[in-house]
Amino acid sequence: MPTITLPDGSQRSFDHPVTVAEVAASIGAGLARAALAGRVGDKLVDTSYRLEGDCKLSIVTDRDPAGLEIIRHSTAHLLAQAVKQLFPEAQVTIGPVIEDGFYYDFAYSRPFTTEDLAAIEARMRELSKSDLAVERREMARDAAVAYFRGIGEAYKAEIIASIPATEAISLYGQGDWVDLCRGPHVPSTGKLKAFKLMKVAGAYWRGDSRNEMLQRIYGTAWPDQKQLDAYLHRLEEAEKRDHRRIGRELDLFHMQEEAPGAVFWHPKGWRLFQRLIAYMRVRQEAAGFQEVNGPELMDRSLWIASGHWEQFGENMYTTQTPDERVYAIKPMNCPGHVQIFKQGLRSYRELPVRFAEFGKVHRYEPSGALHGLMRVRAFTQDDAHVFVAPEQLTAEAVAMTQLILSIYRDFGFDELRIKFSDRPAKRVGSDAIWDQAEAALRQAADAAGIEYTFNPGEGAFYGPKLEFVLRDAIGRDWQCGTLQVDLNMPVRLGAHYIDEHSQKQTPVMLHRAIFGSLERFLGILLEHHAGKLPTWLAPVQVVLMGITDRQHEYVLKTADLLKKQGLLVECDLRNEKVGFKIREHTLQRVPYLLVAGDKEVAANLISVRSRSGKDLGTMPAQTFIERLAVELESRGRRSLED
RNA sequence: GCCGGCAUAGCUCAGUGGUAGAGCAGCGGUUUUGUAAACCGUUGGUCGGGAGUUCAAAUCUCUCUGCCGGCACCA
């Protein structure tokens, strides 16, 4: 005799076991139609799930995030069913939900074409229209392995075989098709109405490049057509903020075939780049860092000693000189900084020693990894290494975490993901050292009060790391900042200090980067702001223009005034209409446009227009300068428009 | 590196075996202009590189390079 308690606290009693669907129907016909699944306690179940005893139940519809996830998961099944009907030779593997959609990997003799994709999508629509019931059943593991082997699904059988033998396997069937799945799923395929197949790509079986390549089909699915259309529109908008496009439109940089993965910075882009450096210098200096500079080329022996040659030798650029020595072009700055630390005897009194460098590094990245400014072969790190005594480690790591977060906030990145990555399979150093390093970093992260996710096995080969991850316009995540605890490199490279008992000690080394790669950070920054950089960063902050050439002298004089304040100013004295000039400079995302006509000249004023198109009225140049100063000093938190 | 796609003027793109095109940009004029595109004229391309098929290749084939979307990698 189950009594069901609903989310609003109301209760319903039944004199026999009921399904989730029946409970939904007892509440209302509309809810019965909208029901995708049920939530019993914390557990998601199908609408066909039978409630035998008293429980708390909520009906999951597409308004529930869990409901949307179920729709996407079920759409992945619909995709697999359609593929099996059209390409019976294809084998199914896995089909998980991802952000905004899903994918499904198939093993097939050839890649799917875009024509295939259209045919598959059309078949999915037919299957949806047929409104096939989705039914769950359970099977013993070994029986399930035998079943999938029997129907020629070797991959599925392999997956099931890796599940413990004692577990019952749930299978979901719809029409002629059955898949292994934990569920839950929508009650019938008719619930799947708004979906679209997006692209095909290769993907390795079990994510291992030694395995065969499968054919992955990506799709998106939404509760209704309107939300699907909105999503597709968002994608189009995101494309417009692609940093590669903005870089060209704003004449910031270019790349070309002769230098794959390397950037040609144009004047405005380089100015922007230098402004990032100038900002970081100020922040670093205040935080006790000393800027240093190491050689670009160092003998291979140093990289062998550090362990980089062993780990990354394949990805290092090398050069052989006439004396037959082999040098590596530095792929990172740490060994250089250790050499500087090693000069002379270091006292414990000097610690922490904080060396920072804007170091240009070269890494021969795999060709397929290159991606605009985000992944290049030649890039500049705001790299720093801090040598501390073990007891200073936590405080130093906490301070650095806070510095990173504070700097990100200055750039408008309030939301970022932080990941904690621990020891990778390929590493140097004993487990005892790793235990120590991981514990220290975790302790520091907790002391800093940050929230992070756990990223097992993704640490650097010499130590665990915190990764500060930013997201680009179309949702790809990129590691920017990093903080690493390293107990290995100081030993390998022979760094020491003398403690208070005159004993030689090995310092702990912290690696940290805040921008990470300036190139990448700039790419993210451009996308984050859609090219509309905050005024304090903009390579051109103000453009002045006259309406006719009668105002030229006044414009030049006013521009001089602004330039003397250190503002980045250009004058547009071209023989063009003011509307044309406004349009061009607005497209160039110049923060402020100042216009002077005869009226302004007569009154000794300027007319101010913001990038957003707002007319801020006329004012004396001095007033503009003062109000702009407030915006610049607050790094855009306060604006001249306010 | 792997799978797939793409590569035509500075940019965005059309051209699918038969004499390389458009819009914008650029350049030369005219216009002295009031807050997101004035008007007229005009320059510009070994169709990514190489090889092949063909009477004939931007177009078909092979190959190399680069880029794009994924996967793998990311000190």
A142 part of the active site: no
For domain A3-60, give its CATH number from 3.40.640.10, 3.90.79.10, 3.30.210.10, 3.10.20.30: 3.10.20.30
CA A640 to chain centre: 32
Confidence bin at A598 (pLDDT 50/70/90): very high
Measuring CA to CA, which residue among A462, A388, A390 is closest to residue A429? A462
**How would you label A105-124 residue by residue, b for 16+ Cβ within 10 Å and e otherwise?**
bbbeeeebeeebbebbbebb
> Has A8 been annotated as catalytic?
no
pLDDT score, position A641: 84
**Could you write out the three-class secondary structure of A281-335?**
HHHHHHCCCEECCCCCEEEHHHHHHHCHHHHHHHHCCEEECCCCCEEEECCCCHH
Which class does domain A542-633 fall in?
Answer: alpha beta
**Three-state SS for A638?**
coil
Minimum-distance nucleotide, CA of A311 to C1': B75
What pTM value is reported for the model? Answer: 0.95
Which parts of A356-451 fold into alpha helices (H)? 393-410, 431-447
CA of A470 to C1' of B10 (A): 33
DSSP state of A550: G
A381 is catalytic: yes
What SS3 string covers A180-213?
Answer: ECCCCCCCEHHHCCEEEEEEEEEEEHHHCCCCCE
Tokens of A380: 């500049």
Q: Domain A266-294+332-528 belongs to what architecture? A: 2-Layer Sandwich (3.30)
Q: How far apart are CA A104 and CA A79, in angstroms?
A: 8
Say yes or no to pLDDT of A435 above 90.
yes
CATH code for the structural domain at A66-238: 3.30.980.10
Closest nt by CA–C1' to A303? B75
The residue annotated as part of the active site, out of A116, A383, A486, A572, is: A383
Give, as ranges, the nucleotides of chain B with any atom within 7 Å of a protein CB: 1-5, 11-12, 30-38, 65-75
Question: Which residue ranges make up each domain of chain A?
Answer: 3-60, 66-238, 266-294+332-528, 542-633
Q: Tell me, in Å, how far CA of A574 is from C1' of B31?
A: 13
Least confident of A348-352, A368-372, A636-640: A636-640
Which one, of A74, A88, A109, A121, lies nearest residue A217 by Cα?
A: A121
Tell me A463's DSSP state: B
The integer distance in angstroms from the CA atom of A134 to the C1' atom of B41 is 70
pLDDT single digits (tens) A80-105: 999 999 999 999 999 999 999 999 99
Burial label for A562, CB within 10 Å (0-12, 13-18, 19+), is buried
| pLDDT number for residue A1 | 75
Q: Each residue of A46-64: pLDDT tens digit?
A: 999 999 999 999 999 999 9
Among residues A77, A193, A362, A465, which one is catalytic? A465
**What is each CA distance from A295 to A47, A270, A292, A380, in whole angstroms?**
66, 22, 10, 14
Å between A578 CA and B35 C1'?
7
d(CA A317, CA A23): 67
Other C-beta atoms lying within 10 Å of the C-beta of residue A356? 25
pLDDT in tens, A469-528: 999 988 899 999 999 999 999 999 999 999 999 999 999 999 999 999 999 999 999 999
Active-site residue flag, A585: no
Q: Is A108 left (phi over 0), alpha (psi -120 to 50) or beta?
A: beta
Per-residue pLDDT tens digits for A233-278:
999 999 999 999 999 999 999 999 999 999 999 999 999 999 999 9
